Amino acid sequence: MFPVAILAGGLALRLRPITETIPKALVDVAGKPFIIRQLNYLHQQGINQVVLCVGYLEDMIKDVVGTGQRFGLNVSYSSDGSVLLGTGGALKKALPLLGQDFFILYGDTFLPINFAAVQKAYEISAKQGLMSILKNNDKWDKSNVCYANGMLLEYNKCAVHSGMNYIDYGLGIVSAAVFDQYPSDRPFDLADVYQDLSFHGHLEGFEVYERFYEIGSHTGLREAEEYFLTKEKV
């Protein structure tokens, strides 16, 4: 299995006041810090290596996660440093730890998805990137993906249009080479990388059918808590 880069360095302003004193990764979700839920799930998926891209209050995350041994994982860290690099910049800095191909997972997202199936689809596609997508119809957020006949035609967060009924589900895979054209000395967004890949026909789509859960907002946090509490009663 490819390594997984988890983007966990942001300020989490939408979760204030909770995140004034702790990073989003450590927000309690139904009795456990969210990052622990993510790491346990990755282990269940057969993942061995995780790179945490950290920034805001990173030492608190390191104190909780450590080397990842107790989760059955090898966890390493890539720090933004004194200036936040954005999601794209954080990944570019982490490349020496990630190898040629790797999963990208947002640090505030829990996804009921089969990682092995996603990796297989990426390998078969022979493209430079893959984005998991969900038919959203603007339900959870503004749809930003045009997908038809099994092909991802466009991803664009800046210029959405009526042909976009899908949304970025939150799990992707890319080749490290896609970052060659982006700067090392200033922040940039992962969305720009995905958008450029889609414009050049290099982004595969992997459709999923079960909704995602996120803790990026107070509403999302409540829904995620309900999901885990219900799941753990079964």
pLDDT, tens digit (0-9, with 9 covering 90-100), for 213-227: 999 899 999 999 999
The band of 234, judged by pLDDT with boundaries at 50, 70 and 90, is low
Q: What are the residues whose beta carbons fall under 8 Å from the beta carbon of 161, sequence distance 6 or more?
A: 146
Length of the chain: 234
Q: Region 181-208: what's the mean pLDDT?
A: 93
Q: Hey, where are the domains in the chain?
A: 4-132+170-206
Alpha helices, DSSP H, located in the chain: 34-44, 58-65, 86-98, 115-125, 190-199, 218-233
Separation of alpha carbons 110 and 70, rounded Å: 20
Separation of alpha carbons 160 and 136, rounded Å: 13
- Bridge-based pairing state of the strands 166-175 and 129-135: antiparallel
**pTM for this prediction:** 0.93
Fold of 4-132+170-206: Spore Coat Polysaccharide Biosynthesis Protein SpsA; Chain A (3.90.550)
Contacts 24+ apart (CB under 8 A), 148-154: 150/205, 151/205, 152/198, 152/203, 152/204, 152/205, 153/198, 154/198, 154/199
In tens, the pLDDT along 119-160 reads 999 999 999 999 999 998 777 678 889 999 889 999 998 787
